[in-house]
């Protein structure tokens, strides 16, 4: 009796199974399209920083004499800080989307589909980062219209963009991590809003780093916002910086890596329980 030995072919990825990049791009498009198509959300997340620039910046211009910064103009001096605040606002909005999708069971649908889990994280990080950059760009334009003096060559603009992307990526990761550990929208807002005041006021966003008392200076140097602000002042806003540009680039890049790492760990823990 002859027997024929057959081998089972190795399992291969099906043509219908999306790659991580394709799936992440689909999730990114979905979130960004929803954001840009929602007039109420756009209005809410952009108006507050604009009011900071228009009311606080212009109002303080005549009352505050800045010895260092963008052409001794307070609007230009504070503009990097408001850009940072806007980038953080975009990150908070991205975290809210992730939390909402978890609560409504959409994430569970992702997990039972052939979508790679890495793609879910990358799509959310990418869309959150995009929202942050869109808001920062709008605030930058408003600041220029209000009198901020912009300088710098192409290299300076690219360096400023690297600083902003690193900062926005770090906060996007933190927002997604917080949204992964809570199921309550109010709890999410409470935890995130704890960052608002220190991020803005415990930094060099509104006043020169060299003028701060020592205890505030220590806090400001531990705040990644300071490095974004100082880096942007020294590159495209024509002012002097209290910190070396290479240090600002290193800190914002490290902050981006840290934020994404925290988000990845929180995401993995959450999806295991889903």
pLDDT digit string, tens, across residues 243-271: 999 999 999 999 999 999 999 898 888 77
Tell me whether residue 123 is in a domain. Answer: yes
Tell me whether residue 98 is in a domain. Answer: yes
Tell me whether residue 13 is in a domain. Answer: no
Q: Give pTM, 2 decimals.
A: 0.82
How would residue 273 be classed by pLDDT, with cut points 50, 70 and 90?
A: low
Q: What local confidence, expressed as pLDDT, does residue 238 receive? A: 67
Tell me whether residue 81 is in a domain. Answer: yes
Spell out the residues 6+ positions from residue 180 whose beta carbon is closer than 8 angstroms to its own. Answer: 98, 102, 263, 266, 267, 269, 270
Q: What local confidence, expressed as pLDDT, does residue 1 receive? A: 46
Tell me whether residue 29 is in a domain. Answer: yes
Tell me whether residue 60 is in a domain. Answer: yes
Q: What local confidence, expressed as pLDDT, does residue 56 receive? A: 74
Tell me whether residue 12 is in a domain. Answer: no
Q: What local confidence, expressed as pLDDT, does residue 16 receive? A: 55
SS3 62: coil
Domain containing 197 equals 21-273
Provide the number of structural domains found in the chain.
1
Tell me whether residue 232 is in a domain. Answer: yes
- Residue 223: is its pLDDT beyond 70? yes
């Amino acid at each position: 009796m002859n027997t024929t030995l057959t081998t089972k072919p190795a399992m291969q990825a099906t043509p219908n199974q999306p790659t991580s990049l394709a799936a992440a791009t689909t999730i990114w498009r979905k979130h960004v399209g929803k954001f840009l198509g929602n007039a109420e959300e756009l209005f809410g997340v952009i108006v507050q920083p604009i009011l900071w620039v228009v009311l606080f910046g212009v109002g303080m211009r005549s009352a505050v004499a800045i010895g260092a910064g963008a052409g001794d103009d307070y609007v230009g001096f504070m503009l990097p800080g408001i850009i940072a605040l806007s980038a953080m606002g975009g990150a908070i909005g991205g975290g809210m989307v992730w939390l909402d999708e978890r609560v409504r069971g959409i994430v569970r649908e992702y997990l039972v589909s052939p979508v790679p889990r890495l793609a879910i994280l990358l799509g959310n990080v990418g869309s959150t980062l995009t929202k942050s950059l869109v808001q920062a760009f709008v605030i930058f334009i408003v600041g220029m219209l209000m009198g901020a003096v912009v300088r710098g060559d192409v290299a300076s603009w690219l360096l400023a963009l690297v600083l902003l992307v690193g900062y926005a990526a770090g906060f996007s990761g933190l927002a997604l991590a917080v949204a992964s550990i809570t199921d309550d929208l109010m709890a999410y807002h409470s935890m995130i809003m704890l960052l608002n005041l220190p991020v803005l006021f415990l930094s060099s966003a509104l006043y020169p780093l060299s003028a701060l008392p020592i205890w505030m200076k220590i806090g400001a140097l531990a705040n990644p916002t300071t490095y974004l602000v100082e880096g942007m002042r020294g590159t495209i806003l024509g002012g002097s910086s209290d910190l070396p540009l290479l240090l600002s680039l290193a800190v914002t890049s490290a902050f981006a890596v840290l934020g994404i790492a925290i988000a990845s760990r929180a995401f993995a823990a959450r999806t295991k329980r889903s």
